[in-house]
Amino acid sequence: MNTAATQPPELTTLPFEGMAKEAVFDALASFKKADVPWRSGRMLGYTYDPGEDPMSVAQEAYMQCLTENGLDWSVFPSMHKMETDIIHILRELLRGDDEVVGSCTSGGTESILCAVKAARDYGRVHKPHIVEPEMVLPETAHGAFHKACLYFNVKPVLTGYDPGTFLADVDSIRDAITKNTILIVASAPGYAQGVIDPIRKIGEVALEKNVLFHVDACVGGIHLSFMRRMGYDLPDFDFTVPGVTSISLDMHKYGYAPKNISSVLYRRKDLRFFQYFSNRRNTCYALVNPAILSTKSGGPYAGAWAILHYLGESGYRTIIKKVQDATNRCVAGINAIDGLRVLGKPDMCMFSFTSEGFNIFELADKVREKSFYMQPQFTHGNTPANLHVSLGHGTADSVDAALAMLREAVAEVKANPNPIDLELVRGTVHKMLADLGENAGDALRAMAGISEGGLPTQMALINSVFDALPNELAENMLSDYMNQVFV
């Protein structure tokens, strides 16, 4: 398998004379030539396209408020107005009462970081006996929670999930709670397989144990809320569930707002208080930040406000009906392809599928060669390596083409006379680790074909090697890999 990388970028220096405007834009356009063409409807992840007309409205609103600064709402009351309106709309979608409050953030990760910081600091005041805080989270929870644990010195306590349904195991969560637990986490839905955890049952545990409970609805909360309003049969996941104390919800995913804007909502103001940071211990201005960032452009806020009001409920309902119909066709179509199997039973338009009899990472490369993109995910416990699909308004019309592409790609991968044998890779990796121990890094990088600088043109072998590594070593090498790619 060819893993040759593109050439590292040439050293860039600041020109003495400024470039002409046309030259600047021509250069920027040239940088994007190797990007996946997301407007084609073939990028089944990362981007969320509401359509040309709504996008143009959101973009114009974005640019109108680009230079407004959310650092100080007293100078830019427009920022306060837009944020308040957005939070009120999201609160209603999540069926919260007038006591529910929230903040806008730059993305799901910042929302999650805020929720964890708030839980930690709330615990410092209300449970002062906790000196080594712990957070209970299923193995299906997003990696941003692990980042929050690292940043805020909280111990992650991982709990199990059903390997068939991918739902968090409630008994495992209950058993993991100790006197040091500051927060329980669940997902609506979990990103990887698109299933909603048993939020009501977990809420009962949170109340029983007197522990805060955060629902990660970053990706799907808006989409699911409209599905519920439209009569789809879904389990409850929002503020109607007793025990839920905070929810994170992204606007720039299935809210179809331009990046970067998310939100985190709390059942009460006294919880949100602990999210804030204030400082006047220096010669600078008094600093108060509702979230983690200080300076933040008004552009994302205006884009989110505009798309909510331009689409309205009827616009979102039209999108959701189209996307869910496309999802049903896509799931059924993938299950009908020999050698492919959708994992679990997705609750919305996010899901993953695995392969049987061939290397899923080779299929990922083949999909990319055919100008589509599906996101590879590694083996974890009883969950096999798989490809993730996120469908949306901009990709719903491409489902038939995607299925035809997959049928062709699977046939080509099966016909490959020199496939990458995952079991052989796994055996080789384990032998290297046994023989070389801590010094295995260089050999593993060479085996995977990782070189300094440049970006790989194919990822199957690299992903196969990473898939075989123990978690800690894989994380270390992923950081090292990123460190090598960016020079």
Number of other residues whose CB lies within 10 A of the CB of residue 449: 18
Q: 5-9, 192-196, 393-397, 401-405: lowest mean pLDDT where? A: 5-9
Task: Give the per-residue pLDDT at 2.
Answer: 38
Task: Give the per-residue pLDDT at 9.
Answer: 59
Greater model confidence, 322 or 469: 322
Task: Give the per-residue pLDDT at 395.
Answer: 96
Looking at the structure, do residues 426 and 301 belong to the same domain, yes or no?
no
Domain count, the chain: 2
Q: In this structure, is residue 415 part of a structural domain?
A: no
What's the CA gap between 301 and 415, in Å, rounded? 50
pLDDT digits (tens, 9 = 90+) for 150-192: 999 999 999 999 999 999 999 999 999 999 999 999 999 999 9
Task: Give the per-residue pLDDT at 423.
Answer: 87
User: What's the distance, CA 154 to chain centroid?
Assistant: 21
Last residue of a domain, one of 306, 322, 337: 306
Q: In this structure, is residue 409 part of a structural domain?
A: no
180-204 in b/e form (b: 16+ CB < 10 A) is bbbbbbbbbbbbbbbbbbbbbbbbb
Q: In this structure, is residue 292 part of a structural domain?
A: yes
Q: In this structure, is residue 21 part of a structural domain?
A: no
The overall longest dimension of the chain from CA atoms, in Å, is 69
CA dihedral 44, 49, 50, 56 (to 10 degrees): -170
Whether residue 272 is predicted with pLDDT greater than 90 in this model: the reply is: yes
pLDDT digits (tens, 9 = 90+) for 17-34: 999 999 999 999 999 988
Q: In this structure, is residue 341 part of a structural domain?
A: no
Looking at the structure, do residues 295 and 437 belong to the same domain, yes or no?
no
For residue 185, give both structure tokens.
């986490």
Q: In this structure, is residue 474 part of a structural domain?
A: yes
Last residue of a domain, one of 306, 329, 356: 306
**Per-residue confidence band for 5, with pLDDT thresholds at 50, 70 and 90:** very low
**Alpha carbon separation from 346 to 302, 328, 353, 386 (Å, rounded):** 32, 10, 11, 14
pTM over 0.75: yes
Looking at the structure, do residues 99 and 225 belong to the same domain, yes or no?
yes
Task: Give the per-residue pLDDT at 483.
Answer: 81
Helices assigned H by DSSP within 169-278: 170-176, 199-209, 221-229, 269-272
Contact in structure between 149 and 224 (CB atoms under 8 Å): no
- Report DSSP letters for 144-182, one per residue: HHHHHHHHHT-EEEEE-B-TTT--B-HHHHHHH--TTEE
pLDDT digits (tens, 9 = 90+) for 117-155: 999 999 999 999 999 999 999 999 999 999 999 999 999
Task: Give the per-residue pLDDT at 350.
Answer: 97
Task: Give the per-residue pLDDT at 444.
Answer: 83
Q: 52-56, 66-70, 357-361, 447-451: lowest mean pLDDT where? A: 447-451
Closest CA to 184 of 161, 216, 162, 220: 216
Q: In this structure, is residue 81 part of a structural domain?
A: yes
Q: Does the CA dihedral 33-35-38-40 come out positive or negative?
A: positive
Closest CA to 360 of 334, 381, 398: 334
What's the CA gap between 233 and 312, in Å, rounded? 22
CA angle 156, 160, 166 (to 5 degrees): 120
Whether residue 253 is predicted with pLDDT greater than 60 in this model: the reply is: yes
What's the CA gap between 290 and 271, in Å, rounded? 12
What's the CA gap between 168 and 159, in Å, rounded? 8
Looking at the structure, do residues 163 and 298 belong to the same domain, yes or no?
yes
**In sequence order, what are the residues at sequence separation of 6 or more whose Cβ sits closer than 8 angstroms to the Cβ of residue 325?**
396
For residue 436, give both structure tokens.
């070389």
Domain that holds residue 158: 63-306
**Per-residue confidence band for 451, with pLDDT thresholds at 50, 70 and 90:** low
Last residue of a domain, one of 256, 287, 306: 306
Contact in structure between 249 and 115 (CB atoms under 8 Å): no
Task: Give the per-residue pLDDT at 187.
Answer: 98
Contact in structure between 267 and 239 (CB atoms under 8 Å): yes
**CATH assignment at residue 215:** 3.40.640.10
Task: Give the per-residue pLDDT at 29.
Answer: 94
**Per-residue confidence band for 1, with pLDDT thresholds at 50, 70 and 90:** very low
Q: In this structure, is residue 207 part of a structural domain?
A: yes
Whether residue 453 is predicted with pLDDT greater than 60 in this model: the reply is: no
